[in-house]
Amino acid sequence: MHNPSKVTSPMAQPRRPRLALPAGSCDSHVHVYGPASRFPFDPHRPYTPEDAPVEQLEALHRWLGLERAVYVQATVHGFDNAAILDAIARNPSQARGIALVHTDISGAALQNLHAAGVRGVRFNFIKHLGDAPDPQAVLRLAERIGAMGWHVQLHFGAQDLLDQLPLLHRLQCPFAIDHMGRTPVAGGLAQEACIALLDVLADPRAWIKLSGPERISATLAHGGAFPYADVVPFARQLLAAAPDRTVWGTDWPHPNVREMPDDGDLVDLLAHYGDVAMLDGVLVRNPARLYGFD
């Protein structure tokens, strides 16, 4: 059996952000882990986290001023989506989910997930999280879920994005790319992956998540004028390309990061991305459209 490594835990008490978020703001990318006693981890998981239950996340969202959440199924739970379905059921009008499923999942199972608040499926192309999915199987499933009003969520590294451009062009449903495409700041705004991502975002089906600045920053949190300041031009470039198809998330509890970010810093970083109208779009209007909030 694989012996997964440990990852660090999120900050027990992040600082309260200075930025006041608009009513109905959505954290469009969070995970819940366990508790393992109730929702066991997959025996073939790529890493082993500490429990990060929904109650802990709800307290964080109250502290930060967030009212809605999109629960993204974690690889540590494999294809058993019970933990995110439980989280959604606690506040179904304000929560949605992105599931991990087998590409040959039955239509009935998809309908059950839809009724429970799921609005998309995620595919990981990051090598340390396991084998990349079969593109043909992804395309077949995308056509099925597109008919349900769902989208595909894609987790790429910068090189993965370049390698999978043919897949993106052939997808028959909307798709969202995680973590700003994980294009490293050190490569500059004109790096091949950034240019390709802008080309992708010209497609009206394409969405981007302004999440994971700690993953692409060239500095640690205290290495600039403010935490992850070097990410701001990257976020602004993406926003300019697709202002109506951009959402934001904390990526709590921040799996597999080189340093644990302060979620208060992540909220305040939004103030550097644009004005009040931008914030209302990224945090309220856009996620309401993508995830089907009333």
The fraction of the chain above a pLDDT of 90, given in percent, is: 88
pLDDT of residue 130: 64
Residue 186 has pLDDT above 70, yes or no: yes
The fraction of the chain above a pLDDT of 70, given in percent, is: 96
Average pLDDT score over residue span 17-28: 97
Average pLDDT score over residue span 213-231: 90
Average pLDDT score over residue span 173-182: 97
Helix (H, G, I), strand (E, B) or coil at 186: helix
- The answer, as to whether pTM is greater than 0.75, is yes
Residues with a catalytic annotation lie at 251
Of 251, 252, 246, nearest to 282 (Cα)? 246
Least confidently predicted of 42-51, 111-120, 167-176, 227-236: 42-51
Confidence of residue 13 (pLDDT cuts 50, 70, 90): confident
pLDDT of residue 63: 97
| Dihedral sign for Cα atoms in the order 106, 103, 78, 87 | negative
Residue 95 has pLDDT above 60, yes or no: yes
pLDDT of residue 132: 80
Q: Are 152 and 123 in contact (CB under 8 A)?
A: yes
| CATH superfamily of the 5-291 domain | Metal-dependent hydrolases (3.20.20.140)
Helix (H, G, I), strand (E, B) or coil at 129: helix
96 — phi, psi (to 5°)?
A: -135, 170
CA distance 179 to 155: 8
Is beta strand 206-210 parallel, antiparallel or unpaired with respect to 26-30?
Answer: unpaired
